[in-house]
Every structure is written in C-alpha cells, then in structure tokens.
C-alpha cells in the first residue's frame, strides 16, 4: 500500500500519507506476530488474552487504514477485504467475549460492517461490468463478486446465531477460531505473497515466502479439527441410560 503523491503535494499531505503507511505496516506486522502468539499460548491463559487483544487492535488498525486509502491507490478490491477483516476480527472477538455470543445492542455494529463489505463488493462488480473495458482497477466483475461472497457467507452464521439465541460450547470456540484464523491468514498472505518487494531480493519469487502462509493455514485447520474432535469425545463420554429390564 503506497500512496503516490505528485511532487507539488503539500508537505502536510505527504506526512499524512507516510504516517498512514507506517501505521498500516506496523499494524500488519504486530497483528501477524500477536496472532501467532495467541495460537501458541495456552487457551484461556492471561498471555493468550493479552495477545488476542493486541491482535484485535492491530488488525483493526491495519485493515481500517487499508480500506480507507485503497480507493485512492486505486485498489478498490482492498476496500472489500479490509472491511471483511475488520468484520471477522470484531465478530470473532465478541464471540469469545460473551458467554453465549448472541449480538446485543452495539454488538450488532460488526454485522453491518460485514454487510457493508458485501454490498460494496457487489457495487464495485457492477461498476466493472458496466465499464468500457469490463474492468475496475484491473479486476473483472467476478473478482469483486467472489470477494463479496465471503462476508455474505459469514453473515449467514450471524443470522443463525440470532435465530437460535446464541452459540455455545465447541460451536462457540469454532466460530472464534475460524474467524480469527482467517483474518490472520489474510494478513499473512497479504504481506508475504502480496508485498514481496518488502523482502530481500534473494527471497522474492522463492517458495520460502509460501511457508508462513501454509503454516498459518495448517495451524488453523489443526485447531479446528482438535476442537471438533474434543466435542465428539465429550459427547461419547456422556453415560447412556441403562435399558429397562424386560
């Protein structure tokens, strides 16, 4: 994310652009580090809670700045992705913050962030479809519509939670894990594969840049499977009633 300003741009605008870039990079780096730490630390421990709070704050900073400045680059696809990451982080955090994870009051706000991401993606896709070359910022309409489909799928889960009155047990932990995990995966992908120019020339274009992304994906899948297996074990441990004598 680099804002290209003309030479005659005011000094204040240049400082603002440099500050936004610095905060965006710092937020992404801290988010990836704290997200990795949250997966390493024991779940429920104080260290895990602190790492999780740092992850939420830094990811919101990174994604929020990215979504705000992307139209000026122009990279409007990143508006959708930035809002989607904010939505995932907020709903993932609120899921574990509340015992039943049922949105109430101000907690409905993140749902509207996800809805905004989906609607903006649809609008950008229509703009690309109606443009002379069929592209918007180099992307076709289907690229925007696929991005819009990601928050729409996640919103289905929110509707189910509201309908059921909350989410509990392993389902609650699964919701927290996959939303935080996908946000971390997007940030890792964006840094290591989306911005290879920030790495030394010897690493650019090498398979080594895929290692962090594959590692995050593997860890997220591992924890999701582990939570699901623990749920199955807990169900199987429930004593079954003895059959009535005949």
Burial 58-80 (b: 16+ CB within 10 A, else e): bbbbbbbbbbebbeeeebbbbbb
Local structure of 109: helix, strand or coil: helix
Phi, psi (deg, nearest 5) at residue 7? -60, -30
By C-alpha distance, which of 178, 220, 174, 213 is closest to 194?
Answer: 213
For residue 57, what pLDDT is reported?
95
Question: 172 with 106: CB under 8 angstroms?
Answer: no
| Ramachandran category for residue 101: left, alpha or beta (phi over 0 → left; psi -120 to 50 → alpha) | left
Gap between the Cα atoms of 44 and 137, Å rounded: 44
| Ramachandran category for residue 146: left, alpha or beta (phi over 0 → left; psi -120 to 50 → alpha) | alpha
Question: 63 with 57: CB under 8 angstroms?
Answer: no
By C-alpha distance, which of 91, 92, 151 is closest to 121?
Answer: 151
Gap between the Cα atoms of 125 and 145, Å rounded: 6
Q: What is the pTM of this model?
A: 0.85
Instruction: Please provide the average confidence, as pLDDT, over all residues in the chain.
Output: 84
Gap between the Cα atoms of 118 and 6, Å rounded: 33
For residue 75, what pLDDT is reported?
87
Phi, psi (deg, nearest 5) at residue 173? -65, -40
Gap between the Cα atoms of 40 and 48, Å rounded: 8
**Structure confidence by residue, pLDDT tens digits, 66-115:** 999 888 888 889 999 999 999 999 999 988 877 655 556 656 788 899 99
Is the confidence at residue 223, as pLDDT, over 60? Answer: yes
Best mean pLDDT range from 9-18, 43-52, 143-152: 143-152
For residue 157, what pLDDT is reported?
85
By C-alpha distance, which of 4, 18, 147, 150 is closest to 74?
Answer: 4
Q: Which of the pair, 187 or 169, is modelled with greater confidence?
A: 187
Q: Strand pairing partners for 136? A: 139
- CA distances (Å), 11 to each of 21, 64, 94, in order? 15, 24, 40
């Amino acid at each position: 994310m680099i804002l290209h300003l003309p030479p005659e741009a005011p000094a204040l605008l240049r400082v603002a652009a440099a500050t936004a870039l610095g905060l965006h990079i710092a937020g992404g780096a801290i988010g990836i580090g704290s997200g990795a730490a949250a997966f390493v630390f024991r779940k429920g421990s104080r260290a895990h809670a602190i790492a999780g709070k740092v992850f939420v704050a830094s990811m919101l900073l990174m994604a929020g700045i990215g979504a705000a400045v992307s139209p000026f680059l122009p990279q409007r696809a990143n508006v959708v992705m930035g809002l989607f990451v904010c939505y995932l982080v907020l709903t993932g955090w609120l899921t574990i913050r509340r015992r039943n994870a049922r949105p109430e009051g101000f907690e409905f706000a993140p749902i509207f962030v996800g809805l905004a991401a989906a609607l903006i993606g649809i609008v950008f896709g229509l703009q690309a479809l109606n443009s002379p070359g069929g592209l918007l910022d180099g992307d076709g309409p289907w690229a925007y519509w696929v991005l819009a489909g990601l928050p729409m799928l996640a919103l289905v889960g929110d509707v189910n939670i509201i309908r059921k009155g909350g989410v509990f047990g392993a389902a609650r932990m699964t919701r927290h894990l996959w939303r935080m995990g996908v946000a971390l995966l997007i940030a890792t992908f964006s840094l290591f594969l989306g911005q290879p120019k920030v790495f030394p020339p010897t690493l650019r274009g090498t398979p080594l840049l895929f290692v962090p992304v594959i590692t995050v994906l593997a860890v997220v899948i591992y924890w999701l499977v582990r939570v699901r297996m623990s749920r199955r074990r807990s169900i199987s441990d429930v004593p079954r009633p003895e059959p009535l004598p005949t």
